[in-house]
């Protein structure tokens, strides 16, 4: 086996399908690969033939040129695949298994992994805790928007679907387990969502819709989703959410029209560092807007779940502080209201099996809620462009024809 095709970042606003090497059980040098990882043996890994690999808003940040991602970085951290080769140290995963890949790469051996903090594994990225496929400054593990991909520590990382035929019947739902469904669910959990809660989710992109779905699954009484994009708000209403258009003014006033009070029990930030202002400022980037707004509208003693991405390097930031990830937060508001905050990568393995069971037993329809839309690998540049323009869809790449996207 020698061929492989993948989606690569080619500079701001541009991705292309390129030919890349077929994976081996040793990390090779390449765009974004940490030099300390070059030559690393991966006998504990497997090679997957990709069944589904999704375009994520986090990928879009890189493609917009808002990170330090290098040219020719192979993208993609949302991966579902079929095992075609296993390394010599793999014991339990077998050729032919259909699996979901958590976007966090974790060793299963370090202190953090043993404490279920798999988003900040200590052994897979020489520069900092935590790693991911196809993402800038995350150790250089090659991305999964490709026909074939290497997955390390396979016995630990992979979630095997119990029945292949049954899984393929729900494959678009199960494809959301690699990132956005657990990530959105994590946002809802860390915001304290429970039975009877009122919840505000900032952002109606795929992660925001997944957070809203997770809040419903957790028993929320009312889920309100805020955004600037009417098509995405309509998608949120399609599965029972209330919505507000933040371009029309302060979220608190609009929340009061729905709930009778200008606050919610739980707040979720599914927007991240490219946030825009509210009301008349909605046309301008204002990266601290969502966080400050959530502190205002979340009840005293409440919590904020923050699955939205924030970075330490943003070349396109509106000022010198924003370019370093330093935002003007009203921390005094948070302190005065005794608010709790949870940030960082979702530890996918903490949730993915339970969410898989909810999917397989018809408790949730995440693919419908995020409007999962399969496209071929060759259509990926169009998918990126449409997603960047605000399409109310979750694009799922079909590199090997498992989904019938052609």
**Whether pLDDT at 316 is above 90:** no
Q: Given this model, what pLDDT does residue 154 score?
A: 98
Whether 231 is in a domain gets the answer yes
The CATH number linked to 17 is 3.90.180.10
Residues 199 and 314 in one domain: yes
User: In the predicted model, what is the mean pLDDT of residues 348-368?
Assistant: 98
**Whether pLDDT at 315 is above 90:** no
Q: Model confidence at 232, in pLDDT bands (50, 70, 90)?
A: very high
Cα–Cα distance measured from residue 369 to residue 312, given in angstroms and rounded to the nearest whole number: 31
Residues 144 and 69 in one domain: yes
Q: Given this model, what pLDDT does residue 279 score?
A: 84
Whether 65 is in a domain gets the answer yes
User: In the predicted model, what is the mean pLDDT of residues 90-94?
Assistant: 98
Whether 135 is in a domain gets the answer yes
pTM for the predicted model, two decimal places = 0.96
**Whether pLDDT at 359 is above 80:** yes
User: In the predicted model, what is the mean pLDDT of residues 121-125?
Assistant: 96
Among 342, 367, 383, the domain boundary falls at: 342
Q: Given this model, what pLDDT does residue 325 score?
A: 83
Residues 250 and 331 in one domain: yes
Structure confidence by residue, pLDDT tens digits, 175-228? 999 999 999 999 999 999 999 999 999 999 999 999 999 999 999 999 999 999
Residues 320 and 386 in one domain: no
Q: Given this model, what pLDDT does residue 405 score?
A: 63
Residues 157 and 199 in one domain: no
Whether 405 is in a domain gets the answer no
Whether 160 is in a domain gets the answer yes
Structure confidence by residue, pLDDT tens digits, 238-289? 999 999 999 998 899 999 999 999 999 999 999 988 888 898 887 888 888 9
Q: Given this model, what pLDDT does residue 148 score?
A: 98
Whether 403 is in a domain gets the answer no
The CATH number linked to 284 is 3.40.50.720
Q: Given this model, what pLDDT does residue 287 score?
A: 85
Among 342, 360, 387, the domain boundary falls at: 342
For 57-71, 339-353, 374-388, which range has the lowest pLDDT when averaged over its residues? 57-71
Residues 253 and 148 in one domain: no
- Across all residues in the chain, what is the average pLDDT? 95
More confident residue, 32 or 83: 83
Q: Model confidence at 138, in pLDDT bands (50, 70, 90)?
A: confident
> How distant, in Å, are the alpha carbons of 62, 154, 169, 181, 310 from that of 48?
24, 10, 20, 21, 30
Structural domain including 171 reads 5-179+347-398
Among 325, 342, 359, the domain boundary falls at: 342
Q: Given this model, what pLDDT does residue 406 score?
A: 52
Report the sign of the C-alpha dihedral through residues 120, 123, 124, 125, in that order.
positive
Residues 260 and 275 in one domain: yes
Q: Given this model, what pLDDT does residue 264 score?
A: 98
Whether 148 is in a domain gets the answer yes
Residues 192 and 295 in one domain: yes
Residues 98 and 145 in one domain: yes
Tell me how many domains the chain contains: 2
Residues 90 and 169 in one domain: yes
Cα–Cα distance measured from residue 297 to residue 303, given in angstroms and rounded to the nearest whole number: 11
Whether 406 is in a domain gets the answer no
Residues 202 and 71 in one domain: no
**Whether pLDDT at 393 is above 60:** yes
**HEC string for the chain:** CCCCEEEEECCCCCEEEEECCCCCCECCCCCCCCHHHCCCECCCCEEEEEEEEECCHHHHHHHCCCCCCCCCCECCCCEEEEEEEECCCCCCCCCCCEEEECCECCCCCCHHHHCCCHHHCCCCCCCCCCCECCCCCCCCCCCCCECEEEECCHHHHCEECCCHHHHHHCHHHHHHHHCHHHHHHHHHHHCCCCCCCEEEEECCCHHHHHHHHHHHHCCCCEEEEEECCHHHHHHHHCCCCEEEEHHHCCHHHHHHHHHCCCCEEEEEECCCCCCECCHHHCCCECCCHHHHHHHHHEEEEEEEECCCCCCCCCCCCCCHHHHCCCCCCCHHHHHHCCCEEECCCCCHHHCHHHHHHHHHCCCCCHHHHHCEEEEEHHHHHHHHHHHHCCCCCEEEEECCCCCCCC
Q: Given this model, what pLDDT does residue 332 score?
A: 95
Residues 288 and 275 in one domain: yes
Q: Given this model, what pLDDT does residue 320 score?
A: 87
Q: Given this model, what pLDDT does residue 324 score?
A: 85
User: In the predicted model, what is the mean pLDDT of residues 373-398?
Assistant: 96
């Amino acid at each position: 086996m020698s061929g492989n095709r993948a989606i690569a970042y080619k500079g701001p606003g541009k991705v292309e399908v390129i030919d890349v090497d077929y994976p081996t059980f040793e990390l090779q040098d390449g765009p974004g690969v940490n030099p300390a990882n070059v030559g690393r043996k991966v006998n504990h890994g497997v090679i997957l033939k990709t069944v589904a690999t999704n375009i994520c808003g986090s990928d879009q940040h890189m493609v917009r040129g808002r990170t330090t991602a290098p040219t020719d970085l192979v993208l993609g951290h949302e991966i579902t695949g079929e095992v075609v080769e296993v390394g010599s140290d793999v014991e339990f995963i077998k050729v032919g298994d259909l699996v979901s890949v958590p976007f966090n790469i974790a060793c299963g051996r370090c202190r953090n992994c043993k404490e279920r903090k798999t988003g900040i594994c200590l052994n897979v990225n020489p520069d900092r805790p935590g790693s991911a496929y196809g993402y800038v400054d995350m150790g250089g593990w090659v991305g999964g928007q490709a026909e074939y991909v290497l997955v390390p520590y396979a016995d630990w990382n992979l979630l095997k679907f119990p029945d292949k035929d049954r899984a393929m019947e729900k494959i678009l739902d199960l494809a959301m387990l690699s990132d956005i469904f657990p990530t959105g669910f994590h946002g809802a959990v860390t915001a304290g969502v429970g039975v009877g809660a009122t919840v505000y989710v900032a952002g109606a992109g795929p992660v925001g819709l997944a957070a809203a779905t997770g809040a419903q699954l957790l028993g929320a009484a009312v889920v309100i989703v805020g955004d600037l994009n009417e098509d995405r708000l309509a998608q949120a209403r399609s599965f029972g959410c209330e919505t507000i258009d933040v371009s029309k003014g302060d979220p608190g006033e609009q929340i009061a029209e729905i709930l009778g009070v200008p606050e919610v029990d739980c707040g979720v930030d599914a927007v991240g560092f490219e946030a825009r202002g509210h009301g008349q400022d909605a046309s301008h980037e204002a990266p601290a807007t969502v966080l400050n707004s959530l502190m205002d509208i979340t009840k005293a003693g409440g919590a904020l779940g923050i699955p939205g991405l924030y970075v330490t390097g943003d070349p396109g930031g509106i000022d010198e502080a924003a370019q370093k990830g330093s935002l003007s937060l009203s921390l005094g508001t948070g302190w005065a209201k005794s608010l709790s905050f949870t940030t960082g990568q979702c530890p996918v393995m903490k949730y993915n099996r339970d969410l898989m069971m909810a999917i397989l037993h018809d408790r949730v329809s995440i693919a419908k809620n995020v409007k999962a839309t399969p496209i071929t690998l060759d259509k990926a540049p169009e998918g990126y462009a449409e997603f960047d323009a605000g399409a109310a869809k979750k694009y799922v790449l079909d590199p090997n024809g498992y989904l019938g996207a052609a």
